[in-house]
Amino acid sequence: MTEDELRAMPANQYMSPDQLEFFRGRLLQLREEVLVREREIRERLNDNTSLADPGDRALAEETRWLDLRLRDREAQLRNKIDAALRLIRDGDYGWCEVSGEPIGVERLLARPTATTCADVKTDAELRERAFRAAR
């Protein structure tokens, strides 16, 4: 199934077995990409090349710090992907965890790990901005 075919499906087919299989495949592909990036980061972090020049050492340390941060972000994304795959398995994928409304095909195509619909996400972001501004 293509994205266009998915978009063309009627609303009463939302999260049908075909749609769930499409998103399952997308999530598995995304998970594999994350695992490849994690392996690359791990290899860079395990490189213990000793550098004599202080500038080179500083650059290497900055790169290492960025790789550690990237490794954490990739691990978070992998955890979200695994959670989304569990939702598919349990039959809850595609439904907002707050309102119970459909998240929507377009939002899931853009962010397959989404757990809230756009309205709930927007409200949460507005509250967060208001809270930060009040401090």
pLDDT in tens, 73-116: 999 999 999 999 999 999 999 999 999 999 999 999 999 999 99
Structure letter (DSSP) for residue 11: G
| Backbone φ, ψ for residue 36 (5° rounding) | -65, -45
Q: What is the pLDDT of residue 34?
A: 96
CA-to-CA distance for 90 and 71, rounded, in angstroms?
29
Query: For position 119, which CATH number holds?
Result: 1.20.120.910
| Backbone φ, ψ for residue 102 (5° rounding) | -60, 140
pTM of the model: 0.83
Burial of 22 (0-12, 13-18, 19+ CB in 10 A): buried
| Total domains, the chain | 1
- The span from the first CA to the last CA of the chain, in angstroms, equals 48
Q: Is the pLDDT of residue 133 over 80?
A: no
Q: What is the pLDDT of residue 123?
A: 87
Print the domain residue range for 88: 3-134
Q: What is the pLDDT of residue 72?
A: 93
| Backbone φ, ψ for residue 63 (5° rounding) | -65, -40
Q: Beta-carbon neighbour count of residue 115 at 10 Å?
A: 19
Q: What is the pLDDT of residue 55?
A: 82
Tens-place pLDDT, residues 36-81: 999 999 888 887 777 778 887 788 888 888 988 999 999 999 999 9
- What band does 135 get if pLDDT is binned at 50, 70 and 90? low
Alpha helices in the chain (DSSP H): 3-8, 17-46, 54-90, 105-110, 118-134
